[in-house]
Structure 1
Amino acid sequence: MITGAHAILYSADAEADRAFLKDLLGTRTVDAGGGWLIIGLPPAEVAVHPTDGEPEHELYLICDDVEATAADLRARGVGVDPVTDQGWGLLTAIHLPGGGRLGMYEPRHPVAAGS
């Protein structure tokens, strides 16, 4: 029986991104050994989209109010892209200390997480 999912982000500064995500998410963390921090995620869901190109994978955080969450993050000094209306939801990206971006959106579609 599958009991969860494990997402991996690759980073130019993994230590900084781990500390950032630990603070951002405020969820349980565990040390998998040698300081290798694993951060708990909020309830999650997975979707499979068709592609004509090479298969790829993406990770997005979901929030109830993307404008308010983005404003809170900006007030804390976090870089956040402008919010755009995609029809299916309001989308932005959080700038990670290691140089990457992590998508965040407010869905307008039904969500399976927490059901």
Structure 2
Amino acid sequence: MIIGTHMVVASKDPEADHKFFREILGLNSVDAGGGYTIFGLPPSDASIHKTDGDVPHHELYFLSDDIDGFKASLAEKNIECGDVQDTGWGRLVKLTLPSGAPLQVYQPRHERP
């Protein structure tokens, strides 16, 4: 039985991304040993979309209940992100982790499962 999700972020600068997850996103963490940190995440959902490319891939989005407030909190911490985009299925901001990896946060319009 599925009890949750486990996400792996491949990073060229894990220490900087760990700090970003802790200090900027406010996620709690535990030391899993062996140099691994596990971050607690709020409830999640998943969807499957048809890809037009040759190689299937995964995308990472965090969900927000107040995208404007989230964007303002980033600005207070001197973190740059793109403008809020209206996608039809939600309102989205894109930002970049310290390692250069993309991160997207959106406020969904759809119901949560």
TM-score by length of 1: 0.88
State the percentage of identical aligned residues: 45
Structure 1: give runs of 5+ residues left out of the alignment.
Answer: none
CA contact (8 A) 1:78 1:95 kept: no
Deviation at 1:10, TM superposition (A): 1.4
Question: Once the two structures are superposed, what CA deviation does each residue of 1:28-47 show, in whole Å capped at 9, x if it has no partner?
Answer: 31111133211111111111
Deviation at 1:18, TM superposition (A): 0.9
Partner of 2:35: 35
Q: Over aligned residue pairs, what C-alpha RMSD do you find?
A: 1.4
TM-score by length of 2: 0.89
Structure 2: give runs of 5+ residues left out of the alignment.
Answer: none
Partner of 2:95: 94
Point out 4+ residue stretches in structure 1 off by more than 3 angstroms. Answer: none
SS at match of 2:17: helix
Aligned residues: 112
Deviation at 1:26, TM superposition (A): 2.8
After superposition, where does 1:1-115 map in structure 2 within 5 Å? 1-53=1-53, 54-112=55-113
Deviation at 1:2, TM superposition (A): 2.1
CA contact (8 A) 2:21 2:27 kept: no
